[in-house]
Amino acid sequence: MPYDDFRGFLQALRQEGQLLHITDEVMPEPDIAAAANAAPRLGDHAPALYFDNVKGFTDARIALNVHGSWANHALALGLPKETGTKEQVEEFIRRWDTFPVAPEWRENPLWAENTLEGEDADIFRVLPLIRLNDGDGGFYLDKAAVVSKDPADPGNSGKQNVGIYRIEVKGRRTLAIQPVPMHDIAQHLHTAEERGEDLPVAITLGNEPVISIVASTPMEYEQNEYELAGALRGAPAPLARAPLTGLPVPWGSEVVIEGVIEGRKREIEGPFGEFTGHYSGGRNMPVIRVDRISYRTDPVFEHLYLGMPWTEVDYLIAANTCVPLYKQLRRDFPEVQAVNAMYTHGLVVIVSTKKRYGGFAKAVGMRVLTTPHGLGYAATVIVVDEDVDPFNLPQVMWALSTKMNPAGDLVQIPNLPVLELAPQAVTPGITDKLIIDATTPVAPDSRGNYGTQVRDLPEAGEWLARLRKLAGTR
């Protein structure tokens, strides 16, 4: 059953034993970020964390690591918490097949209970802000779904965007945002700035968990995130109009911040410990003026720690990076079996495929580079045979160990685009990319001495089930 608000999901996590309520008094820094840093180290069933006794605050409620394990990711999708990683990706693919599912407009949004406007729209009065990593330039909002419209086509709901971007708190009513040029909001801002206009935005915090998943899914420009949320939920996403901007926002958000990205303005921002596991340097970035804040009474502040992988962000952008790449590759190449783009938002992509003829695997690898997401990511693509599971890294390493000959299987393409945060680029934003063909050559490619591969015995599958049963009944 889908969740219509953040608190409904927190309750479900609590019932499943996946929410740890820390009742001891903690310091806002470094305790909360350090706990969220540590939580994913508890493994695939790590819990979300909930703090409500924070020194100096009178009524802080802060939730972190909400998506920070495969168990919590499964629960977010309404699956049993034991569901395996590959099975979650496969279910995500099946549900995407029902895309688009139109949203549902609902009256009386939960965030309409309280309002601060104009000079009173002070973010510190609403959110118990905390700092994350030592080198961060300030307080960040890094799990907010930001809504904007294409200024050249504002009536087109396909071109509207819901995305998670890093947002720095620069003052009581001032924020900074990072619109990576490969992401949709950067196109909206580009159009607004060419026209000399501001770009209205609604920043929504504390959303039901599927909204966070779709807002961090690399969808195509004209695909609507709320319509994907409907497909993943199995029910329309409930929406309401934000009062100042009229932008469509989740009905159940804890907090909705409205304002504008001020056109043609840049100001020093950062650094910030990023999803790459490295700090970005200080850069001049766009500035948001906050004009209105709407919020539920006693709002819960949802935050996300990110650092040395894996942390919550890696779970949040794992399955939802694999699936659009899989869908896009399958359009042209139905031979593609599976895509694992779980590592650093797909800076490495592993694809398993059947081969039509010699050289085919390299062509699949090149197609990865030209997908919309691959343009900014996919620094390394590993292509493996159809019987290698890209989610099984020991199998992938076996393929690299035995199927790859550097003499003919490494394709290095110079000077392709990559997001500026990718630390390996010599010039930020431009890098060589690598395709590693770790498939068995097929005719007319006759390289190697492969003979015949050893296959699982036909009876092994039956024995696996039998052994599991026996082991389970010990």
Alpha carbon 356 to its chain's center = 33
To which H or E segment does residue 160 belong?
none
Cβ 392 to another protein shortest distance, Å: 38
- Count H helices and E strands in the chain, helices first: 14, 25
Q: Does 59 bind another protein (CB under 8 A)?
A: yes
Tokens 């100042």, located at residue: 244
Span near another protein by CB under 8 A; candidates 8-16, 182-190, 352-360, 456-464: 182-190
Q: Does 158 bind another protein (CB under 8 A)?
A: no
Query: Which one among 17, 282, 334, 461 touches another protein, defined by CB under 8 A?
Result: 282
Q: Does 291 bind another protein (CB under 8 A)?
A: no
Cβ 269 to another protein shortest distance, Å: 8
73 vs 188, beta carbon nearer another protein? 188
- Please tell me the count of residues contacting another protein according to CB under 8 A: 46
List 193, 262, 269, 274, catalytic entry: 274
Nearest to 163 by CA among 105, 130, 202: 202
Q: Does 426 bind another protein (CB under 8 A)?
A: no
Q: Does 55 bind another protein (CB under 8 A)?
A: yes
Alpha carbon 100 to its chain's center = 19
Q: Does 57 bind another protein (CB under 8 A)?
A: yes
Query: Which one among 179, 307, 374, 376 touches another protein, defined by CB under 8 A?
Result: 179
Distance separating alpha carbons of residues 331 and 236, to the nearest angstrom? 26
Token pair for residue 126?
């609403």
Q: Does 332 bind another protein (CB under 8 A)?
A: no
How many other β-carbons are positioned within 10 Å of the β-carbon of residue 426? 8
Alpha carbon 223 to its chain's center = 16
Asked if 271 contacts 421 with a C-beta cutoff of 8 angstroms, the reply is no
Q: Does 6 bind another protein (CB under 8 A)?
A: no
Nearest to 230 by CA among 76, 101, 75, 96: 101
Q: 339-398: which residues touch another protein (CB under 8 A)?
A: none
To which H or E segment does residue 319 belong?
helix 319-332
* Contact string 188-217 vs another protein (x = CB under 8 A): -xx--xxxx---------------------
Tokens 């495969």, located at residue: 70
Query: Which one among 94, 241, 266, 356 touches another protein, defined by CB under 8 A?
Result: 266
Query: Which one among 2, 3, 9, 28 touches another protein, defined by CB under 8 A?
Result: 28
Distance separating alpha carbons of residues 143 and 205, to the nearest angstrom? 7
How many other β-carbons are positioned within 10 Å of the β-carbon of residue 46? 22
Q: Does 428 bind another protein (CB under 8 A)?
A: yes
Span near another protein by CB under 8 A; candidates 184-192, 206-214, 223-231, 327-335: 184-192
Nearest to 95 by CA among 323, 345, 352: 323
Cβ 259 to another protein shortest distance, Å: 18
Query: Which one among 24, 41, 58, 473 touches another protein, defined by CB under 8 A?
Result: 58
Q: 245-264: which residues touch another protein (CB under 8 A)?
A: 264
Nearest to 211 by CA among 19, 44, 6, 65: 6
Distance separating alpha carbons of residues 205 and 89, to the nearest angstrom? 25
Reply yes or no on whether 274 is catalytic: yes
Distance separating alpha carbons of residues 83 and 370, to the nearest angstrom? 32
Query: Which one among 8, 100, 154, 181 touches another protein, defined by CB under 8 A?
Result: 181
Residues paired with 238 in a beta bridge: 104
Q: Does 169 bind another protein (CB under 8 A)?
A: yes
DSSP 8-state class, residue 157: T
* Contact string 115-154 vs another protein (x = CB under 8 A): ---------x----x-x--xx-xxx---------------
- Write out the residues near another protein by the rule CB under 8 A: 27-30, 55-59, 124, 129, 131, 134-135, 137-139, 169-172, 178-181, 186, 189-190, 193-196, 264, 266-269, 271, 281-286, 420, 428
Residues noted as catalytic: 274
